[in-house]
Amino acid sequence: MLPQLMKLKGTAIDLLYPKRCIGCHMEGDFLCDSCLAGIKRLFPPLCPLCGRPQINGVLCQDCVSWNAAIDGIRAPFRFEGIMREVIHQYKYKFISAMSSRLAGLLSDYLENYPLNVDTIISVPLHPKRLRERGYNQSALLASELGKITGLSVIKDSLVRRQYTTPQAKTL
């Protein structure tokens, strides 16, 4: 009975507040196929550390002297235009329902450009920010990506101790 009630609730919410594309505002989904096609994707060769486009796939100038304690960073899209707006809406306008769509985009990327990983770990929010936002967008995204890919998701393995100004508000 509970799944049927949840489906009914979802249908009622969609009727009252239909999903609209963040790019063109067309009714249907948070990111329509047309706007998705216009988003700039990042394809190899990339800098193996920071993930920026790099002609020969070796460390870029910025990373040569960077003593990072990470193996690498990857993003399927450039953080600009519609994708920037999608991420900001997801993080700051409390549109948690976008997590499954974003996880699908990440899964598509991983399918085409596999990474040697077996676990997903989300970035924690400070407890104050979690209270403000009501959910951890990183944890939701990790959970959805884990469902799609079959990768294990480890929750609460990291702790954010220091409260910092949101990156969107820093210079």
| DSSP 8-state symbol, 150 | -
Inter-residue contact 39 to 77 (CB < 8 Å): yes
Percent of the chain with pLDDT over 90: 35
- Could you report how far apart the first and last alpha carbons of the chain are, in Å? 50
Query: Locate tokens 């990339």: which residue?
Result: 46
The per-residue pLDDT for range 60-75, each reduced to its tens digit, is 988 988 887 887 788 8
| DSSP 8-state symbol, 20 | B
pLDDT-derived band at 43, boundaries 50, 70, 90: confident
pLDDT of residue 141: 95
The strand ranges marked E within the chain are 119-121, 152-154
